Amino acid sequence: MKDKIYEDINNILNESFKMADSRIDKNTLLLNGGLNLNSLQLIELTVAIENYYNKEFDTDTLTEENFSSVEALADLIQSSFM
C-alpha cells in the first residue's frame, strides 16, 4: 500500500512542480534542506493530493510535521484517505 502512495506522491510532485522524480524518495524532505517547498507550493501540493484522491484533509492534519517529508506525507495520506 505504501509503495503505491509513494508512487502517487512522486507523480503529483513531478506533475505539479516539474521535478525529476529520481530526486524524490521516501526520505526526501519537502521543506527545509530538501525540496524547500514554500507556503504557496504546500497549498498547491495539498490541493493536488486532495484532487488526486478526491477527498479532503481534515484541517487539523495540515501541520508542518505531516508535510515534513515524503514518508510523513505518505503516512498522512494513508491515515486520512485509505
Three-state secondary structure readout of the chain: CHHHHHHHHHHHHHHHHCCCHHHCCCCCECCCCCCCCCHHHHHHHHHHHHHHHCCCCCHHHCCCHHHCEHHHHHHHHHHHHC
- For residue 46, the tally of other CB atoms under 10 A from its CB is 15
What percentage of the chain exceeds 70 in pLDDT?
A: 96
Total residue count of the chain as it appears in this document: 82
- Tell me the average pLDDT of the chain: 92
pLDDT in tens, 25-65: 899 999 988 899 999 999 999 999 999 999 999 999 999 99
Indicate the pLDDT class of residue 8, thresholds 50, 70 and 90.
very high
pTM: 0.90
